[in-house]
Structure 1
Amino acid sequence: MTTVHWVTAFIDLPPGLHAAGTAFWSGATGYAVSPPRGDHLEFTTLLPPVGNPFLKVQQVGSGRRIHLDLHVRDPEDAAHRAEELGAKVTHRAGPGGYVTLRSPGGLVFCFVTEHHEIRPGPTRWTYGHESLVDQVCLDIPPDLFEAECSFWSDLTGWPLRRSARRPEFSHLVRPEGIPFRFLFQRLDESATGEVGAHLDLATDDRESEVRRHEHLGATRDPAPPTSPRWTVMRDPTGAAYCITDRNPETGLLD
């Protein structure tokens, strides 16, 4: 088991989409954008008014994805453990630096040492409701589902729970203080390829939150049917995410 004391989600965007994606997610969260940093000024952080940051934007050469940073005491030791569980190391930054890996299903993640401990609370909007980006959903082809769920539970030591009502969903029991809940979604039988991921928001008024996002430039995704519990959206870069009825304080369905 690897002790993970924080999780950061990165929104990776190519140059042509980076500015639009950064502006949208700043507006969606209500968080300020840090000055850019990195050798090519490719990194920015969304800065909550209270608590430690947990959402960042990175400009990449091509493609669009979500990747995760797992904050640990010793990235090399954690990477060794992950390799034993089936992950593959793709980059090492050097002694004491970060390690980049792919999960058995191909999801990119990194081990880093940056220390955070204060989880931000929900943002209250002028509409009178609250919301918070608080969940990363792994979108998993059916042939990879069981192995990928087991990998993340074994790596973190967080218990795996199956949904009784929706067998295509499982999740990890999130320790107190961790900003992201891990949800696993088994895609339909036609899905192939590597594991992907998308972000989910929790809110106490989904319709008001959906309208707020539409004002920021997002659209409702017409392809999947809207669930009684969530609405699938597309941000201005075309990336899918969900607005859900989960309690923004606890992350759970009431």
Structure 2
Amino acid sequence: MIRWTWAFLDRPAATFDACVRFWATVTGSTVSVPRGEHDEFVTLLPADGPAWLKLQRVGDDGGIHLDLDVDDVAAAVTVATGLGARVVTDSGGYAVLESPAGQTFCFTPTGTASIVDPNTAPAVVASAPDGTVSRLDQICLDLSPTDLSTDTTFWRDLTGWAHEPARRPEFTRLRGPGQPLQFLVQRLDDPRPAGAHPDLSSTDLAATAAWHTSLGATRVTETPHWIVLRDPGGVHYCVTARDPYTGRVH
């Protein structure tokens, strides 16, 4: 059973500090004391409720991976590999794996965040200076048409979360009770390696995107329901027209 889900933003060393400041600001968080052999890890601490977002300094172009808190790492690895995952590293204390399509994720021991009552866990939101509210509450799993069925089944069976259709046929959702993040599964138009990006819900799509660009993000493209941007590290993410309190499209 997955007790807690973390989004781990991997960002290039040259822009890591700028990315930490950016994501701390747009999520209304403070930054933990750095940790790791080279101070390469930080956690973003919300004003209220448990944390669910971390950043890591990396030597490549960056991206995102998931940390999944479980009670028994070894047992979770056995389940995941039985579903088609590949082990990259298994230290005994934690394990790094890839989904069948190649999306990186880790099993980590259950921590204090994992004991939050799912019926009372707060909806942690951030307020922009103009009062617009947003929340980083969704990870979009970007899958090529050839990988879609296999990895959708993998994540559904691994998490045990409810699999729901979305408004558009290229999307489906996985929702877990009490989890700080939901997964949006996206079918890409063309074959390419599996990837993922964070999505923020917002009470005002245009206003949130404008605030982010004032803080160093770059607008890439937009639709009536979402805007694609790049953070200061050059990594893509989206602001979406979903309710930050419910995660539903408003």
TM-score by length of 2: 0.93
- CA deviations 1:52-99 (Å, max 9, x no partner) are 1110000122231100001111111011000000001111122xx111
Q: Which has the higher strand share?
A: 2
2: CA distance, partners of 1:101 / 1:84 = 12
User: 115, 136, 140: which is aligned to 2:112?
Assistant: 115
What amino acid sits opposite 1:184 in the alignment? V
For the 8 Å contact 1:9–1:54, the answer to whether it is kept is: yes
For the 8 Å contact 1:29–1:123, the answer to whether it is kept is: yes
- CA deviations 1:176-195 (Å, max 9, x no partner) are x211010011111x332x21
Unaligned runs of 5+ in 1: none
What amino acid sits opposite 1:115 in the alignment? T
In structure 1, the partner of 2:46 is: 48
Residues 1:242 and 2:219 are matched in the alignment = no
1:1-254 alignment, distance < 5 Å: 3-94=1-92, 97-113=93-109, 114-116=111-113, 117=116, 118-163=121-166, 165-175=167-177, 177-188=178-189, 190-192=190-192, 194-222=193-221, 226-254=222-250
1:119 CA displacement? 4.7
- CA deviations 1:151-187 (Å, max 9, x no partner) are 0001111121223x42111111231x21101001111
SS of residue matched to 1:221: strand
SS of residue matched to 1:231: strand
1:123 CA displacement? 1.9
2: CA distance, partners of 1:98 / 1:218 = 33
- CA deviations 1:34-69 (Å, max 9, x no partner) are 111011211011110111111000012223110000
| Larger mean Cα displacement after TM superposition, 137-146 or 25-34 | 25-34
For the 8 Å contact 1:119–1:178, the answer to whether it is kept is: no
1: CA distance, partners of 2:194 / 2:60 = 18
For the 8 Å contact 2:28–2:127, the answer to whether it is kept is: no
What amino acid sits opposite 1:232 in the alignment? V
2: CA distance, partners of 1:168 / 1:204 = 24
Q: Percent identity?
A: 44
What amino acid sits opposite 1:103 in the alignment? S
For the 8 Å contact 2:123–2:245, the answer to whether it is kept is: no
CA RMSD of aligned residues (A): 1.3
What amino acid sits opposite 2:168 in the alignment? R
| Larger mean Cα displacement after TM superposition, 123-132 or 207-216 | 123-132
1:120 CA displacement? 4.6
Runs of 4 or more off by more than 3 Å in structure 1? none
What amino acid sits opposite 1:106 in the alignment? G
- CA deviations 1:107-130 (Å, max 9, x no partner) are 110111123124552123331221
| Larger mean Cα displacement after TM superposition, 210-219 or 78-87 | 210-219
Unaligned runs of 5+ in 2: none
1:233 CA displacement? 1.0
SS of residue matched to 1:170: strand
